[in-house]
Amino acid sequence: MAENAPGAPGPGSLGVIVTVLDDPRLERTLESLLAQTRRPEEIFVADGGNSPVIAEICARFTGRDPRIRRVAAPGTIAESRNVAIGVVDSELVAFLDTDEVAPPEWLERLTAPFSDPTVGFVGGPTPAMAGTARNVAARYYDAYLRRFYDRVASRDPHALPMGNSAWRTRIFRELGLLDLSVSGYGSEDQEMALRALRAGWRGVYVPTAPVEHDFSDLGWWSLFRKQRRYGHGGYVIWRRTGSTYEASVDRVLPYAVLPLLGVVGLLFLPFTELRWVGAALCLVGFGGLAILAAVLTVEGRREDATYPGYRYRAVEIWRRWATLLGAIDGAVAPPPRSATSPLEPRR
């Protein structure tokens, strides 16, 4: 294929990978890609399932625009992305998920930093789609993520999630594909970014390239499960690389110690000789949690104008418990061996 042939992928060319698992919201995501001001040369739907609905959506969109191709890619998100990366023929590859919708300027803004040859990957924020944060947990998590991108991901680019990111394809050819040993915990993007950074590439946060994230399926327990997975994966990555971006002892200690004191106090209450000790521990533990919740609420209200929903910051206690439980899972589980593989050169 000639690099500069009309309509052919060449230097500066762009492919997009959309991961899907039996999610009909794919249709909305593809519509947003067809409306981009920066037209991608390739759009691959990495289909991790076998739903006839998804096959029908893909066939219909391919009929409208031959740039769209469905790629059978069963497995986890990381496995699906690895399969799709293998068929990308462009210099740059962007990643989007089916619960995300891209504004028309998304790709144009997201890929702008690649004019600097030292930039290896970029990422933008994922604020909640209007009207989809329907409960307190979802509203807080939306505010938390907005603040997270501004305060953490902008400083530590390895914290950028792969959904709403773009990469130089050569990174996967030189450093290997996503590590499947941590893919079940949503940490393969963090591990990949660390590999790229340590190889000398730069990562850039692009605040002007947001995608709208559908939070309609996010509730208290789904948030807990999500954060538990992230905690597990984050611990594994920290144990393997020594790198983290948010957790520290002083930040997590109150969330761990206070409930532990309260639970121990409850265990002491049935014993007459230890009842006063149990009562004291309950007072310190559960009373301390109440004070912590009040302090978090006050602090959250101060930033609520900038990050709407942050006034519910007491939900952070729930999120931290999930993260701690995930980290414990990671600590007691046998350390997984790295499972990366090189990207075979295209023929």
- pLDDT for 50-60, tens place per residue? 899 999 999 99
| Two structure tokens written together for 103 | 């504004």
Check residue 8 and give its pLDDT. 41
Spatial distance between the Cα atoms of 80 and 161, rounded to a whole number of angstroms: 16
Is the pLDDT confidence value at 192 over 70?
A: yes
Enumerate the β-bridge partners of residue 166: 94, 122
Spatial distance between the Cα atoms of 80 and 28, rounded to a whole number of angstroms: 20
Question: What are the tens digits of pLDDT across the range 65-96?
Answer: 999 999 999 989 999 999 999 999 999 999 99
Residue 316 near residue 247, CB atoms below 8 Å: no
More confident residue, 185 or 72: 72
Residue 296 near residue 313, CB atoms below 8 Å: yes
Residue 197 near residue 87, CB atoms below 8 Å: no
CATH 3.90.550.10 domain extents, the chain = 14-126+161-212
Residue 214 near residue 101, CB atoms below 8 Å: yes
Q: Could you tell me the pLDDT band of residue 129, with boundaries at 50, 70 and 90?
A: very high
Check residue 82 and give its pLDDT. 95
Check residue 347 and give its pLDDT. 43
Domain 14-126+161-212: which topology? Answer: Spore Coat Polysaccharide Biosynthesis Protein SpsA; Chain A (3.90.550)
Backbone angles phi, psi at 120, to 5 degrees: -100, -30
Rama region for 165: left / alpha / beta (φ>0; ψ in -120 to 50; rest): beta
Is the pLDDT confidence value at 320 over 50?
A: yes
